[in-house]
Chains A and B, each alone.
Chain A
Amino acid sequence: NSKVIQTPRYLVKGQGQKAKMRCIPEKGHPVVFWYQQNKNNEFKFLINFQNQEVLQQIDMTEKRFSAECPSNSPCSLEIQSSEAGDSALYLCASSLSVERLFFGHGTKLSVL
């Protein structure tokens, strides 16, 4: 069983509101990923970190999305001004190496 902990499981926001979700990666895993999974099960990579530093991110993340992975604190993903199109399952994953990702259960965001 994965030990990647994501909170909250469900998040409901109005349009324009901030939405923040957290992730505690598996202990000892230096790499953390955030993915957005839409209702068609399609994955969109958002950002990843290695030892608190950003490795890769997409343009969308740079505009309304912000993320951080401070040492000794949960990682977080925040949407500054939620839009209906942001409704999705946000998955956090951590990794010790390139050989495998360990996923959390996700945060299901609904933007009304």
Chain B
Amino acid sequence: AQSVTQPDARVTVSEGASLQLRCKYSYSGTPYLFWYVQYPRQGLQLLLKYYSGDPVVQGVNGFEAEFIKSNSSFHLRKASVHWSDSAVYFCAVSAAGNYKYVFGAGTRLKVIA
């Protein structure tokens, strides 16, 4: 069975600083990996996804993530955060070709001036 760990429940960064949100997954097969963002009072929106190929994937709003198979990680990065990036970020994994998604507990990002 798949599982996802987001070790940081809360992260605070200054506007303009770089960001890394950590995600580790557990799955013995080929994973599909995702990052979603949830803004207040809204549903989740997809930031980026990885299935295969280049381990560094680009997403919306300047986000990127790197799949490191040897470390079972899929950390999210952004070079320079904006106050509007304040939200809750979820990492998710599904088995390749399977509709069974597992979400992490989320990391609440706060961007301060």
Interface status of B71 (Cβ within 8 A of chain A): no
Interface size of A by Cβ–Cβ distance < 8 Å?
Answer: 26
Interface size of B by Cβ–Cβ distance < 8 Å?
Answer: 26
Q: Which of the residues A2, A48, A50 comes within 8 Å of B43, measured between beta carbons?
A: A2
Counting from the closest, the 8 A-B pairs by CB-CB distance are A103-B43, A43-B103, A41-B106, A103-B44, A105-B43, A104-B43, A42-B105, A105-B42
Interface 1/0 per residue, B22-40 and A, CB below 8 Å:
0000000000101010100
Within B47-73, the residues touching A (CB, 8 Å) are 49, 51
Q: Closest approach, in angstroms, between the C-beta of B89 and any C-beta of chain A?
A: 10
Interface status of A59 (Cβ within 8 A of chain B): no
Segment touching B, from A14-22, A61-69, A79-87, A93-101 = A93-101
Interface status of A4 (Cβ within 8 A of chain B): yes
Q: Measured between alpha carbons, how far is A103 from B99 in the docked complex, in Å?
A: 14
Residues of B contacting A40 in the complex (Cβ-Cβ under 8 angstroms): 105
